[in-house]
Amino acid sequence: MGKPMEASGVRAFFSASSEREERWRELHRVGKALAAGSGQADKLRQEAQALVAQLRPLEDLCGYPGGRLMAQLSERLKDGDGASLARLTQRISMSLLSNSYRDDPEAWKSDQEEDDPHIPKVLPPSIGRGQARKPYCEVLIVSPGERSTWGPMCDGIRRLRRDTDQFVVEPVVVGSFEDAVLAVLVNYNIQAVVMFDGFGYEAQTPVADLRELVSAYMPQAAAARDGDLAMLLSRALHAIRPELDVYLSTDRDVAKLAGADEAAGIRRVFYALEEMLELHLAILEGLQDRYETPYFDNLKKYAQRPIGTFHALPVARGKSIFKSNWIRDMGEFYGANLFLAESSATTGGLDSLLEPTGNIKVAQDKAARAFGGDRCFFVTNGTSTSNKIIHMAVCRPGDIVLIDRDCHKSHHYGLVLAGAQPYYIDAFPLTQYSMYGSLAIKPITDALKQLKAEGKLDKVRMLVLTNCTFDGHVANVERTMLECLAIKPDLIFLWDEAWFGFARFSPFLRRRTAMGAAAKLRAMFADPGYREKFAAAKGTLPDPDKVRVRVYESDSVHKSMSSLRQGSVVVVADQDFSSVEASFKEAFFTHTSTSPNLQIIASLDVARRQMEFEGYELVSRAIQLAVEMRREINQHPLISKYFKAATPAEMIPAEYRNSGFSDYGQPGWGLAKLVGALDSDEFFLDPTRITVLCGNAGMDGSQFKALLSSEYDIQINKTSRNSVLVQININNTKSDLAHLIKALADMSRAIDKRLAEGGEPEQGAFKARVKSLVEDVPDLPNFSRFHDAFRDNPKSKTAEGHMREAFYLAYEASAREYVKLNSKDVEERLKNGPEMVSAKFVIPYPPGFPIMVPGQVITQETITFMRKLDVKEIHGFNASLGLELLKPSALAALKKEAAPKRERER
C-alpha cells in the first residue's frame, strides 16, 4: 500500500483526512498544468501517477470518486491522453474539495458514460441541481465475496434507490474486519454498516499503521479473531462511533442470533441476501431516526400555520414588529421565522419543557442516546442553571459535598441554595501561569478516608469536578470514580463538562467523559469476573454488593456544539434516579423559566442531530487543526521567540503523566501509546484548548487579548497573567489558523523591530517586563478554612462548613463590616485578630473562581494575592468599601445558636 498517512506518530492519524485533501489539491494543480499544455507533460503525468498511487488505498474506502472513476483515472494516466486526464482530475478534485459530489450527478460521470448504457446512473435524477438537496451518506458493506463481485453488488444496491427516498446512500465495500475498522475511522461519510457474515479478519491490503489503529480501539481484537467476527466488528465499530447503525446479513439461525446479548448493538439481523429491499429500507429508517428532530420539525410546521395568538408574547408571529413604525429593523435583521416560531403557549404540539410528554420528551430521549446517558434534560439558561438544578436535586441541607474549589461559581451558589456543606479541595497549582490545574485523585480519597475515620461518610453525598477545566485538564474519570467508590460506594458524581460535550464524539476523548466512564464502570461491575477481582484487590475496588453507579453530567451544548447561547443539557446515568426523580423535578421547576426560549430548545434538538451525523468528523477535524496550530506556533522560528503553545508536559506535572506523554507530535508516539496514556494517566490535556503563553512577548494576558481584538479582529475569551486561551472548536477552519498565525508573526516582527530600534534602554525595559510576567508571579492562595462558627466540630480534621449560614448572615446589615484592602487594619487583624471572615464570594476575572467564599477565614496568602491582582473585574469586591467581612460579634452569636438549629434543619 502507498502511504495514506505520512506524518509520524499521533499526528499521522489526525492528519489523514487533510493529507487526502492535500493530494487531491495537488492533483488538481497537476491537472490544470496538463490542461494548459505545459511543456513538461511527462513529468506532470509522473507526478499525477505518484499521487494517484498514494491516494488509491484511501480511496478504496470512500464512496466518491469510487472504483469506476479511479479506474478511469488510472487508464487516462496510462494511455497518456493529457487533455482528458486533466479534465477528469479537475472534475474529481473540485467535486471533492467543494463537496459538490454530494448533490451533483455530473461529478460522478466518467467521460465514457454517455456511450455506455450498462454503467448505472450513480445518483437518481431527483437529486439533480436545482432540486431539494437530499442528504448524502455512505454505507459500508463488509463482504466475504471476491473483489470481482463488489462492483455488481454496489450496482444492485444503487438500483434499490427510489425517488421517494429521503437520503442518498452510496455503497462502499471492504472485505475484512481490519478494512472495515479503517474505513469507519477515515471515511466520515459512512453512516451505516452492513456486515455479510463470513468475512475474514485480516486487511486485504496491508496498512502499516492499521494493526496499531485496531488495537488502539480494541486491544483484544486480534486475540478474538477466531471468534464471532460479526459481533466483534459491531463492538469495535461502536467503540469508535457509537452512533453508527450496524446491520447483519447472515444465514445462521437469525431468530436465535437476533435475541443474543452480543447482538444488542446490531440494529437488525437479516436472513442472507433474500431481503435486499428490506435492508435498504432499514438503512433509510435508521438514518431517519437520527435525522428527525421532533421539536425543531414541529416548530417549523408551527411557524407555517396561520395561528391567532391571544397570549402574552406580542412578538409571537411578528405582528408587533412588522407593523411597527419604529422597530421594523428588528424584524428585518432577524427575519420573519424567528417570530413565526415564537409562542408562549404549549399547545399546537409545542410541548412543555417543564412537563414534557410530546416532542420535547422524544427530543430529550434522542439526546440521551447521543450523549450516552439514560436520561437527558434540556436546560435553556446555560450550564450555570444545569449545575444548580443538580445540586438542589440530589443534596439535602447538611450533606457534605466534596468539591474542587476553583470550579465554576454556579456550583458554589448551588451549594448555598441546597444548604449542603462544601468540602473544598484545592487543585494542583500552575503558579507559573497564574492558574490552577485540576483536582488530583489523592486529595479526594484522602478527604474521603478522613471523613470515614471521623464517622461522617454517611453524610457525604456528592463529588463535584470540572472536566475538562477551562484550560483543558481532562480527568481520569473512570479511575477517579473507581477509587472514590471503593471508599464510599454510593457516592454521586457531578462532572461539569460545560466545555467538553464534544468529547463524546471523539473515540479518543470519550473514555474520559462522565458518560463514557459510567458505561465502562457499569460493564465492569456487571462482569461475572468482577467479584474475583474485587476479592483480590483487598479494598481498593468498590464492593460489588454495595456499589451504585450514579453519574450526572452538565454540558454547555452552546460552548462546543451548534446550539444557541445558553443551550445546555443535564445527562444522567444514575441507577438510583428513581430515588431523586421527585426532587429533580422540583429543582428543575425552581430554576427553569416558565417561558423557556423555544429557539434554544429547537437548537438543542438540532445540535444533537448534527453531532449524531457529523460529530465524529467535526471533532476529528477540530483536533487535527488544534494539533497543527500547536505545531505551527512552537516550530515557527519567529513566533516561538515570543509565544508558546503550552505543551501537555508544561500544563500537567510529570507525576500525573506516568506514561511520559509530553506532546502531540512526540516522536515515537503512535496511536496505541497515545491511547495507553489516555487510559492510564491521571490527567490528559485536551488538544483543542491551547494556552498561548505571551509573557515572553512582554504582554500580560489582558493586553494580548486586547491587541488581538483591536488590531487583528481575533476574539479570545480567557486570559491569565501571562497567557491567553485559544479554543479550537468545530467551527474553526484552516483560514482561522492562518489568521492567528499571521497575527502572531506580525506581532513578533513588531517586537523584533521595536527592540532593534530602541536599543539597550528598550531591551532592558522589555527584559524587566518579561521577568515580572514570567518569574514574579504571585502564589495562588489555597482554600484556608471555614470559621469555627460554621463548623459542626471545630476540632474535626475534615474541612466542610455550613457556607449557607455565612451567606445569609451577611444579609443582616448589622452583621457586616468593611476593611480596606490596603489599610493597616488588615495587617493588624492578620497579626493579632480577630480573624477576618469573608461575608461574600470574591471572584476575580481572571482567574474566575472564588478566592474567598462566605464564612472563609481570610489569610495572609489571600490578601497578598488580592493586592497583586491586576485585574479590573472582581465580583464581590468593591475597592472603595473594602473587604466585606462578618463581624466577630455576629459570628459569636451565631456559634451559640447554630448547633440546635442545624439539628432541627436536618
Ligand X SMILES: Cc1ncc(COP(=O)(O)O)c(C=O)c1O
Q: Give the H or E element holding residue 425.
A: strand 421-425
- Quick check: 470 binds ligand X (CB under 6 A)? yes
Site for ligand X in 581-640 (CB under 6 A): none
Looking at this protein, which amino acid is placed at residue 497? Answer: E
- Quick check: 723 binds ligand X (CB under 6 A)? no
Q: Which is nearer to ligand X, 502 or 643 (CB)?
A: 502
**Site map (CB under 6 A) of ligand X, residues 667-696, x = contact:** ------------------------------
User: Strand 843-845 relative to strand 873-875: parallel, antiparallel, unpaired?
Assistant: antiparallel
Whole-number minimum distance, CB 379 to ligand X, in Å?
Answer: 8
Q: Which is nearer to ligand X, 555 or 800 (CB)?
A: 555
DSSP annotation string for 557-608: HHHHSSPPTT-EEEEEEETTGGGTHHHHHHHHHHHS-SS--HHHHHHHHHHH
Quick one: cell of 605?
434538538
Whole-number minimum distance, CB 694 to ligand X, in Å?
Answer: 21
Q: Which is nearer to ligand X, 384 or 480 (CB)?
A: 384
Q: Which is nearer to ligand X, 242 or 382 (CB)?
A: 382
Whole-number minimum distance, CB 501 to ligand X, in Å?
Answer: 10
Q: Which is nearer to ligand X, 191 or 556 (CB)?
A: 556
From the list 110, 466, 624, 688, which residue makes contact with ligand X (rule: CB under 6 A)?
A: 466
- Quick check: 408 binds ligand X (CB under 6 A)? yes
Site stretch for ligand X (CB under 6 A), options 333-341, 349-357, 379-387, 641-649: 379-387
> 376 by DSSP, 3-state: which?
strand
Whole-number minimum distance, CB 842 to ligand X, in Å?
Answer: 18
> 843 by DSSP, 3-state: which?
strand
Whole-number minimum distance, CB 210 to ligand X, in Å?
Answer: 38
| Count of residues that interact with ligand X, criterion CB under 6 A | 11
- Quick check: 410 binds ligand X (CB under 6 A)? yes
- What is the Cα–Cα distance from 270 to 252, expressed in whole angstroms? 10
Site for ligand X in 552-581 (CB under 6 A): 556, 568
Whole-number minimum distance, CB 845 to ligand X, in Å?
Answer: 10
Q: Which is nearer to ligand X, 294 or 382 (CB)?
A: 382
Q: Which is nearer to ligand X, 410 or 666 (CB)?
A: 410
Q: Which is nearer to ligand X, 311 or 565 (CB)?
A: 565
Residues with Cβ within 8 Å of 719's Cβ and at least 6 positions away in sequence, in order, are 700, 701, 702, 704, 705, 725, 846
From the list 380, 383, 732, 748, which residue makes contact with ligand X (rule: CB under 6 A)?
A: 383
Residue nearest to ligand X (CB): 382
- Quick check: 666 binds ligand X (CB under 6 A)? no
From the list 384, 506, 599, 603, which residue makes contact with ligand X (rule: CB under 6 A)?
A: 384
User: Strand 689-693 relative to strand 644-645: parallel, antiparallel, unpaired?
Assistant: antiparallel
Whole-number minimum distance, CB 556 to ligand X, in Å?
Answer: 4
Looking at this protein, which amino acid is placed at residue 211? Answer: R
Residues with Cβ within 8 Å of 21's Cβ and at least 6 positions away in sequence, in order, are 96, 97
Site stretch for ligand X (CB under 6 A), options 229-237, 376-384, 694-702, 849-857: 376-384
Site stretch for ligand X (CB under 6 A), options 180-188, 290-298, 382-390, 528-536: 382-390
Burial of 436 (0-12, 13-18, 19+ CB in 10 A): buried
Dihedral Cα 757, 760, 763, 765, nearest 10 deg: -120
**Is-contact 490 550, C-beta < 8 A?**
yes
Site stretch for ligand X (CB under 6 A), options 303-311, 377-385, 605-613, 785-793: 377-385
Where are the strands (E) in 595-753, listed by range? 644-645, 683-685, 689-693, 719-720, 723-727
From the list 496, 682, 686, 800, which residue makes contact with ligand X (rule: CB under 6 A)?
A: 496
For residue 602, the number of C-alpha atoms closer than 13 Å in the C-beta half-sphere is 17
- Quick check: 862 binds ligand X (CB under 6 A)? no
Quick one: cell of 657?
503523566
**Is-contact 509 686, C-beta < 8 A?**
yes
Whole-number minimum distance, CB 689 to ligand X, in Å?
Answer: 11
How many other CB atoms are there within 10 angstroms of residue 192's CB atom?
23
Q: Which is nearer to ligand X, 248 or 464 (CB)?
A: 464
Whole-number minimum distance, CB 615 to ligand X, in Å?
Answer: 19
Dihedral Cα 730, 735, 741, 746, nearest 10 deg: -140
Q: Which is nearer to ligand X, 59 or 406 (CB)?
A: 406
- What is the Cα–Cα distance from 27 to 21, expressed in whole angstroms? 10
**Is-contact 481 488, C-beta < 8 A?**
no
Whole-number minimum distance, CB 555 to ligand X, in Å?
Answer: 9
Looking at this protein, which amino acid is placed at residue 471? Answer: D
- Quick check: 382 binds ligand X (CB under 6 A)? yes
Whole-number minimum distance, CB 719 to ligand X, in Å?
Answer: 14
Q: Which is nearer to ligand X, 373 or 847 (CB)?
A: 847
**Is-contact 829 836, C-beta < 8 A?**
yes
Residues with Cβ within 8 Å of 554's Cβ and at least 6 positions away in sequence, in order, are 383, 386, 387, 390, 494, 495, 496, 497, 498, 568, 569, 570, 571
Q: Which is nearer to ligand X, 382 or 542 (CB)?
A: 382
Quick one: cell of 75?
487508464
Whole-number minimum distance, CB 849 to ligand X, in Å?
Answer: 9
User: Strand 644-645 relative to strand 568-574: parallel, antiparallel, unpaired?
Assistant: unpaired
Residues with Cβ within 8 Å of 397's Cβ and at least 6 positions away in sequence, in order, are 418, 419, 420, 804, 905, 906
Whole-number minimum distance, CB 498 to ligand X, in Å?
Answer: 3
Beta bridge partners of 612: none
Whole-number minimum distance, CB 718 to ligand X, in Å?
Answer: 9
Interacting residue ranges for ligand X, rule: CB under 6 A: 382-384, 408, 410, 466, 470, 496, 498, 556, 568
